[in-house]
Amino acid sequence: MEKPVVAITIGQAHYRRMMSPAAWEKLASFAQVIHHPKPEPATKADLLALLPPADACITSWDVAPLDAEVLAAAPRLRAMAHMGGSVKRFVSDAVWQRGIHVTSAAPALARDVAETTLGLMIVGAKRIWPLAQHVRQGGWRDSPHWPSRELHSCTVGLVGAGQVGRQVLELLRPFRSRVLLYDPFVEAQEAARLGAALVSLDDLLRQTDIISLHAPAKPDTYHLLDARRLALIRDGAVLINTARGSLIDESALIQELSRGRFFAFLDVTDPEPPAADSPLRRLPNVVVTPHLAGCIEDCTHMGEMAVEELRRFFAGEPPIYAITPEMFTRIS
Angstrom distance (rounded) from CA 147 to CA 166: 29
Angstrom distance (rounded) from CA 68 to CA 13: 27
The active-site residue, picked from 134, 223, 291, 330, is 291
Residue of 268, 266, 209 whose CA lies nearest to 234: 209
The active-site residue, picked from 98, 115, 272, 311, is 272
Catalytic: 291?
Answer: yes
The active-site residue, picked from 244, 301, 309, 312, is 244
Angstrom distance (rounded) from CA 119 to CA 183: 23
Angstrom distance (rounded) from CA 285 to CA 264: 6
Catalytic: 281?
Answer: no
Enzyme catalytic residues: 244, 272, 291
